[in-house]
C-alpha cells in the first residue's frame, strides 16, 4: 500500500460503486482478499483523504439512505476519537497499564502471550490473523473483534497487551480506535456489554476459510474490571489560534496530512518541518511497515505543500524541533490539532522546553472534529442520530439532495 494522497483517492474511486448495498450486506465477511471493504482506513487515519470528502463521494454516488451504513462507519472513527478526547485519562491508564500487565503475567500466561505473538498458539485462526497482521499491517474489522475476544475471554490475556500488539502493526493504528475497540470487546467501553467470538460465526463470515474448534475458543475467563468506572467527559482541550504576524514554523505530523483548513498564505511561514512519531505508539516495538508508511505519508504531504526537501525529524529530544525553529527565525510553531495519544504526550512534555526557547505552539482543529467531538459523551447512538445534521452543517447534503430525485 502506497502512502500518498493520490493512492488514497485511487482506492476511493475504485470502491465508490460498492459503498451502498454491497458494503451494507457484505462488510462483515472476511474473505481474505478484503474486496468487500474499502481499505481506506490507513489514508483516513492520517487524513491523506478526509472524512468529509469520503462522505461526499458516497453521497454523490449513492445518496444518503443507500450509503448510510458506509457513512456510519466513517463517523465511527470520529466518534472514537472524540470519545477519547473527552476522556484522556483512559489513554493514560492504558499506557500506564502496559508495563504492569507484562510484569503481572505468570509463567503460563507469559508463554501463551509469546506463543500468540509468534503465531504458534495452536489456534489456527489466531495464528493466521497474526501472520496477516504482521506481514501486511492490516486485519479485517470483524477479524479484529474475533481476535480480541479470543485473546481476552478464551486465553485470559490482558486486553491492553492485545491493543498494544495491534497498535504496533496496524497501518491504520489509531490510539482512539484501537484502545476503545479493545475496550468495547472486553466490556469496558459499554460496561457489561462484551463481544464474544463464536466458532460458527467465524466459519460463516469467512465462508469456511477459517473454522476453529469451538472448544478452543470457548470463553473461560471473565470480563476485566474497571474499579473506578468510566471518567466523566471533560471539555475539549483549549488551543491557541495561529498568530499571522509571527514568524512561523509549520509542523506536519501524521495526525493530519490534508491541506490545512487555514489560509497558509496569511501566515508568515519561514519553514516547514515534519515529525515522525509512530515509534511512540508502543514501548515494546514498532512494525517497519508502520514506520515506513508514516514517513511516506509525511513526505507526500511536504511534496504537495511545495517543500519536497523539508526536514523530517524524529519525536525524541525536543531540541531538534527547537533547533529547526530557531534556524528558520521562527517564534511560533503551528500544526494541526494533536489529539490524545503518544504524539500529544510527547508534545505536551516538551512544552516547557519549547516555551523556554521563546517559542509558542498554535494549532487548528478541523470543523469536522469541532462538529462531532462534543457529542461523543456516551454511546454511538447520540452521534449516529445526528449524522444528517452533521452532513447539513458540513455542506454535504446538497450532493444527496441532487441525487435524491434520480433514485
- 316 belongs to a structural domain: yes
Residue with cell 462484551: 194
10-25 pLDDT, tens per residue?
Answer: 999 999 999 999 999 9
86-116 pLDDT, tens per residue?
Answer: 999 999 999 999 999 999 999 999 999 999 9
Characterize 40-62 residue by residue with b for buried, 16 or more Cβ atoms within 10 angstroms of its Cβ, and e for exposed. bbbbbbbbbbbbbbbbbbbbbbb
- 285 belongs to a structural domain: yes
Compute the average pLDDT of residues 158-174: 98
Please identify, among 205, 237, 257, the residue that sits at the C-terminal boundary of a domain. 205
- 44 belongs to a structural domain: yes
Q: How many domains does the chain have?
A: 3
C-alpha closest to that of 3 among 230, 172, 121: 172
Higher confidence at residue 404 or residue 372? 372
Phi and psi at residue 96, in whole multiples of 5°? -65, -30
C-alpha closest to that of 326 among 352, 348, 358, 355: 358
How many whole angstroms separate alpha carbon 333 and alpha carbon 373? 25
C-alpha closest to that of 18 among 62, 49, 73, 72: 62
Same domain? 319 vs 385:
no
**DSSP alpha helices (H): ranges in 222-341?**
288-304, 319-328
How many whole angstroms separate alpha carbon 139 and alpha carbon 39? 10
Same domain? 251 vs 362:
yes
Question: Is the pLDDT confidence value at 403 over 50?
Answer: no
Same domain? 116 vs 153:
yes
- 242 belongs to a structural domain: no
Rg of the chain on CA atoms, in Å? 22
Query: What percent of the chain has pLDDT above 70?
Result: 98
Please identify, among 178, 205, 232, the residue that sits at the C-terminal boundary of a domain. 205
Number of C-beta neighbours around residue 151 at 10 A:
27
C-alpha cell at 339: 489529539
C-alpha closest to that of 251 among 368, 360, 173: 360
Same domain? 52 vs 120:
no
Q: What is the pTM of this model?
A: 0.95
Compute the average pLDDT of residues 345-368: 97
CA atoms within 13 A on the CB side of 319: 1
Same domain? 81 vs 103:
no
259-296 pLDDT, tens per residue?
Answer: 888 889 999 999 999 999 999 999 989 999 999 999 99
Same domain? 252 vs 141:
no
* pLDDT value, residue 399: 47
CA atoms within 13 A on the CB side of 175: 30
**Sheet-wide strand order for 312-314:** 312-314, 268-276, 247-252, 332-336, 360-364
28-76 pLDDT, tens per residue?
Answer: 999 988 888 999 999 999 999 999 999 999 999 999 999 999 999 999 9
Domain around 298: 247-367
Number of H-type helices and E-type strands within the chain: 19, 5
- 237 belongs to a structural domain: no
Query: 148 pLDDT band (50/70/90 cuts)?
Result: very high
Task: Give the H/E segment covering residue 275.
Answer: strand 268-276
- 361: CATH: 3.40.50.620
* pLDDT value, residue 406: 35
Same domain? 258 vs 358:
yes
Same domain? 349 vs 271:
yes
- 372 belongs to a structural domain: no
Same domain? 161 vs 272:
no
Amino acid at each position: 500500500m502506497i502512502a500518498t494522497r493520490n493512492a488514497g483517492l485511487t482506492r476511493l474511486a475504485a470502491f465508490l460503486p460498492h459503498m451502498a448495498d454491497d458494503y451494507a450486506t457484505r462488510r462483515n465477511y472476511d474473505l481474505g482478499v478484503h474486496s468487500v471493504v474499502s481499505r481506506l482506513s490507513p489514508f483516513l487515519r492520517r487524513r491523506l483523504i478526509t472524512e468529509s470528502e469520503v462522505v461526499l463521494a458516497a453521497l454523490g454516488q449513492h445518496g444518503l439512505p443507500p450509503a448510510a451504513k458506509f457513512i456510519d462507519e466513517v463517523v465511527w472513527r470520529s466518534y472514537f476519537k472524540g470519545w477519547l478526547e473527552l476522556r484522556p485519562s483512559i489513554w493514560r491508564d492504558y499506557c500506564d497499564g502496559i508495563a504492569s500487565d507484562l510484569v503481572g503475567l505468570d509463567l503460563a500466561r507469559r508463554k501463551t502471550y509469546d506463543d500468540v505473538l509468534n503465531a504458534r498458539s495452536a489456534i489456527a485462526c489466531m495464528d493466521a490473523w497474526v501472520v496477516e497482521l504482521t506481514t501486511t499491517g492490516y486485519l479485517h474489522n470483524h477479524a479484529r473483534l474475533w481476535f480480541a475476544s479470543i485473546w481476552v475471554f478464551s486465553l485470559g490475556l490482558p486486553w491492553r497487551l492485545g491493543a498494544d500488539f495491534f497498535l504496533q502493526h496496524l497501518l491504520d493504528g489509531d490510539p482512539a480506535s484501537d484502545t476503545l475497540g479493545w475496550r468495547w470487546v472486553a466490556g469496558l467501553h459499554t460496561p457489561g456489554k462484551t463481544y464474544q467470538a463464536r466458532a460458527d460465526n467465524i466459519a460463516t463470515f469467512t465462508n469456511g476459510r477459517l473454522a476453529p474448534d469451538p472448544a478452543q475458543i470457548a470463553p473461560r475467563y471473565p470480563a476485566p474490571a474497571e474499579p473506578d468506572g468510566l471518567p466523566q467527559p471533560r471539555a475539549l482541550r483549549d488551543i491557541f489560534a495561529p498568530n499571522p504576524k509571527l514568524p512561523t514554523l509549520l509542523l506536519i505530523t501524521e495526525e493530519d496530512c490534508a491541506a490545512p483548513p487555514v489560509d497558509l498564505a496569511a501566515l508568515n511561514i519561514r519553514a516547514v518541518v515534519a515529525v515522525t512519531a509512530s515509534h511512540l505508539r508502543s514501548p515494546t516495538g514498532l512494525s517497519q511497515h508502520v514506520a515506513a508508511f508514516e514517513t511516506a505519508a509525511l513526505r507526500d504531504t511536504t511534496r504537495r505543500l511545495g517543500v519536497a526537501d523539508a526536514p523530517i525529524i524524529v519525536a525524541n529530544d525536543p531540541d531538534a524541533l527547537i533547533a529547526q525553529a530557531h534556524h528558520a527565525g521562527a517564534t511560533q510553531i503551528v500544526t494541526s490539532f494533536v489529539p490524545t495519544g503518544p504524539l500529544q504526550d510527547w508534545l505536551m512534555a516538551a512544552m516547557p522546553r519549547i516555551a523556554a526557547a521563546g517559542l509558542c505552539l498554535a494549532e487548528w482543529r478541523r470543523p469536522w472534529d469541532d462538529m462531532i467531538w462534543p457529542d461523543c459523551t456516551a454511546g454511538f447512538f447520540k452521534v449516529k442520530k445526528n449524522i444528517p445534521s452533521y452532513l447539513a452543517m458540513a455542506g454535504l447534503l446538497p450532493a444527496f439532495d441532487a441525487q435524491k430525485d434520480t433514485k
